[in-house]
């Protein structure tokens, strides 16, 4: 009976994992913005943008950019604990073309602050 339950649980788990289409490399990305320090102003926030070069796609384009919450500086550091996850797909067929120059996605990060004047 225990073995049957274990097999049933394993079957449930593996149905949730979707395989990528053929010739697609799927990468699961976790972006974790934990803290920032060394900024002179309070009410700090972080904005990020993930730039996808040619041959890269995602089914979650709204997650390619975002912003953390505003955070007060305490003892010179701001603690965000901001996490987002997304999947990126790379078309492996481009490697057949010798003139193709595939590149890795880039994460662009900017820090800003808000005060009573902005």
pLDDT per residue as tens digits for the range 39-92: 888 889 999 999 999 999 999 999 999 999 999 988 889 999 999 999 999 999
100-114 average pLDDT score: 93
- pTM, to two decimals: 0.77
Tokens in use for 82? 């901001």
List all residues 6 or more positions away from 6 whose beta carbon is below 8 Å from its beta carbon: none
CA 61 – CA 115 distance, rounded (Å) = 30
- Give CA separation, 109 vs 36, 95, 99, in Å: 12, 29, 31
Domain boundaries, the chain: 20-113
Q: Beta-carbon neighbour count of residue 47 at 10 Å?
A: 13
Which of helix, strand or coil describes residue 59?
coil
Is residue 82 within 8 Å of 69, Cβ to Cβ?
Answer: yes
* Residue 118: pLDDT over 60: no
pLDDT tens for each residue of 10-51: 776 655 667 888 999 999 999 999 999 888 888 899 999 999
Q: Judge whether residue 100 has pLDDT over 80.
A: yes
pLDDT reported for residue 42: 84
């Amino acid at each position: 009976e225990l073995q049957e339950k274990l097999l049933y649980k394993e079957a449930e788990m593996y149905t949730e994992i979707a395989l990528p289409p053929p010739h697609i490399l799927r990468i699961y990305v976790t972006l974790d913005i934990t803290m920032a320090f060394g900024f002179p102003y309070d009410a700090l926030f972080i904005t990020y943008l993930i730039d996808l070069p040619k041959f890269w796609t995602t089914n979650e384009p709204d997650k390619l950019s975002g912003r953390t919450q505003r955070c007060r500086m305490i003892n010179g550091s701001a603690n965000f604990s901001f996490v987002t996850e997304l999947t990126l797909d790379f078309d492996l067929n481009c490697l057949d073309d010798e003139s193709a120059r595939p590149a890795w996605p880039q994460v662009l990060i900017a820090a800003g602050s808000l005060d009573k004047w902005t």
